[in-house]
Amino acid sequence: MAIKLYDLAGAEDDHRFSPYCWRVKMALAHKGIAFETLPWRFTEKDRIAASGQGSVPVMEDNDRSLHDSWEIANYLDETYQDGPALFPNEEAKAATLFLKFWTERVLHPLLMRLILTDVHDGLHEKDKDYFRTSREKMLGTSLEAVCEDRETHLETLGKGLAPLRATLDAQPFLGGSSPSFADYIVFGAFQWARCSSATEVLVKDDSVKAWRQRLLEMHDGMAANAKRPAA
Amino acid sequence: MAIKLYDLAGAEDDHRFSPYCWRVKMALAHKGIAFETLPWRFTEKDRIAASGQGSVPVMEDNDRSLHDSWEIANYLDETYQDGPALFPNEEAKAATLFLKFWTERVLHPLLMRLILTDVHDGLHEKDKDYFRTSREKMLGTSLEAVCEDRETHLETLGKGLAPLRATLDAQPFLGGSSPSFADYIVFGAFQWARCSSATEVLVKDDSVKAWRQRLLEMHDGMAANAKRPAA
């Protein structure tokens, strides 16, 4: 039985933009593991209640239920040792943890200011109220206010990418000479932006953009072919 | 013949605060390699001219001259394979590069705003003009202006440490269960602040402060015993 992944979807079933789900989809493709995705919406908590989770990714592998993209990557390496590793070894995994938290605490907020209203607009009608209410409560302001002054946010993102740019000036992947889960963590953030918004967040032709392009084309262009809003 | 390290010094010969030199001193201690340091000032370019460098660390190992802390760490692992590794393997090294650039592009600037005038005040008289002129040209403003509004800079640093804090909440060292060069890179930045300024930059009792304390005490308290300005 193929692995099943509950994958956040928008108004259309094939519109998939969750950064954490993209990590897992890239990880499964990296390891050459067949999987199917099930479109899931924020308000369908009951469908994944058995996992004890209120959000995706939730992955089912036979009778195992997994959640949390980092834990799923660990599970995949342990369970499917034939495929290429996502974490080449324990030391590389430890050294990747900082990058994971940088992505979640720094990069996601920087991107959010550029795409949050677009994320909302692409959602299924039944999710829109939930999304707006929960996010505005968390942020203490409206979605629209967060996204005001786009030019400033683009410039702030450009500066915030400095350590990523310097790393990718020096080596082709965050994992080194070939991609590892480190790459998919950061790529997930950019794919969230790309699949949520028609506008480009990477405005410079730099090593970050070239690296994203390599990842978009990987695994038969799985990420490049993903649905995104029309410009 | 013991390894010699040209080490940036202040007014007093034993006042050593360079973040990049601290990386190397911790690295040498980590590997259990004996070394001696030679106090060096910014304006003593002629003393390290043979290295082709205008700044330290410059390390001499018999007839080899090395510079750049990252390159020195690589050299030490290759040359002294008996001691504990600084980079456990190539994949861990690749995954550490992002942390190096984050330290240099994000953490150093955040700390600089808290300590730059103190760094200046601790310098040897013959270095002060050079330091002020070169830094003010680079920054486009005075040292004093950079350090204005200390409370805001402390708060910005506290927020900027979020990914570091989250990582050290999850594991005792950036290298994982034991320190690696990743730890010494980031520690060098905090030791730069600690040895330059009497005021504390880590104002919360969090995992970052606890981790710094572990590193201060390591290697017979080499870093803890370093000279710093009196409060």
Q: pLDDT digit string (tens) for A18-62?
A: 999 999 999 999 999 999 999 999 999 999 998 898 999 999 999
Asked if residues A44 and A6 have their Cβ atoms less than 8 Å apart, the reply is: no
Would an 8 Å CB–CB cutoff place B178 in contact with chain A?
Answer: no
Asked if residues A31 and A80 have their Cβ atoms less than 8 Å apart, the reply is: yes
Model confidence at A175: pLDDT above 90: yes
Show which of B79, B99, B130 is a domain's final residue. B79
Q: Determine the structural domain holding residue B113 and report its residue range.
A: 90-221
Across A8-13, average pLDDT:
98
Task: Using alpha carbons, list the distances in angstroms from residue A107 to A160, A162, B34.
Answer: 8, 11, 42
Q: Could you tell me where the beta strands, DSSP code E, fall in chain A?
A: 3-8, 35-40, 58-61, 64-67
**ipTM above 0.90 for this complex:** yes
Question: CB distance B95–A177 less than 8 Å?
Answer: no
- A209 and A114: one domain? yes
Across B172-185, average pLDDT:
98
Would an 8 Å CB–CB cutoff place A167 in contact with chain B?
Answer: yes
- B107 and B159: one domain? yes
- How many structural domains does chain B have? 2
Q: Does residue A231 belong to any structural domain of this protein? A: no
Asked if residues B36 and B67 have their Cβ atoms less than 8 Å apart, the reply is: no
**Mind listing the pLDDT tens digit for each residue in A68-114?**
999 999 999 999 999 899 999 999 999 999 999 999 999 999 999 99
- A36 and A113: one domain? no
Show which of A79, A100, A133 is a domain's final residue. A79
DSSP letters, B23-89, are: HHHHHHHHHT--EEEEEE-TT-GGGGGGGT-SSS-EEEETTEEEESHHHHHHHHHHH-TTSPPSSSS
Identify the residue among A86, A87, A91, A171 best suited for mutation to test binding to B, counting B beta carbons within 10 A and taking the highest: A91
The pLDDT assigned to A231 comes to 82
Q: What is the reported pTM?
A: 0.97
Would an 8 Å CB–CB cutoff place B33 in contact with chain A?
Answer: no
- B114 and B212: one domain? yes
Would an 8 Å CB–CB cutoff place B62 in contact with chain A?
Answer: no
CB proximity list for B127: less than 8 A, separation 6 or greater: B41, B42, B43
Select from A54, A91, A58, A55 the least CA-distant residue to A75.
A58
**Mind listing the pLDDT tens digit for each residue in B77-124?**
999 999 899 999 999 999 999 999 999 999 999 999 999 999 999 999
DSSP letters, A95-108, are: HHHHHHHHIIIIIH
Banded model confidence at residue A1, pLDDT cuts 50, 70, 90:
low
- B150 and B213: one domain? yes
Would an 8 Å CB–CB cutoff place B167 in contact with chain A?
Answer: yes
Helix or strand holding residue B8 (H, E): strand B3-8
**A-chain residues near B177 (CB < 8 A):** 94
- B48 and B125: one domain? no
Exposed, middle or buried by CB within 10 Å (0-12, 13-18, 19+), for B54? exposed
